[in-house]
């Protein structure tokens, strides 16, 4: 059954296309939805780097290299709130 998809309260309904132009627009939008990534890779890379850096700082603290941990925090401008988070290991 040809139609457009709409999500309303998590119920999927199918409505028939009014004309060929609507069908072409739907097909293009559907193709884009399947092929384009929904993840912002730049933000993901930045977050991954931050977690790696925080893990490295934690290891430095554990080995007694406090000055190195302070220098890393200062170099990458990590705020106090980020350094106090405990879920990065």
Taking 60 as the threshold, does the pLDDT of residue 88 lie above it? no
The radius of gyration computed from the CA coordinates of the chain, to the nearest angstrom, equals 24
User: Is-contact 44 35, C-beta < 8 A?
Assistant: no
Give the pLDDT of residue 63: 94
The residue with tokens 């293009």 is 28
> Which one has a higher pLDDT value, 3 or 45?
45
């Amino acid at each position: 059954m040809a139609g457009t998809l709409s999500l309303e309260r998590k119920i999927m309904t199918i409505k028939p296309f009014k004309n060929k132009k609507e069908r072409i627009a739907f097909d293009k939008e559907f193709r884009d939805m399947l092929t384009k990534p929904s993840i912002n890779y730049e933000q993901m890379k930045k977050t991954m780097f931050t977690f790696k850096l925080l893990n490295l700082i934690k290891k430095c603290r554990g080995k007694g290299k406090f000055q190195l941990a302070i220098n890393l925090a200062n170099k990458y401008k990590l705020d106090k709130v980020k350094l106090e988070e405990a879920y990065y290991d």
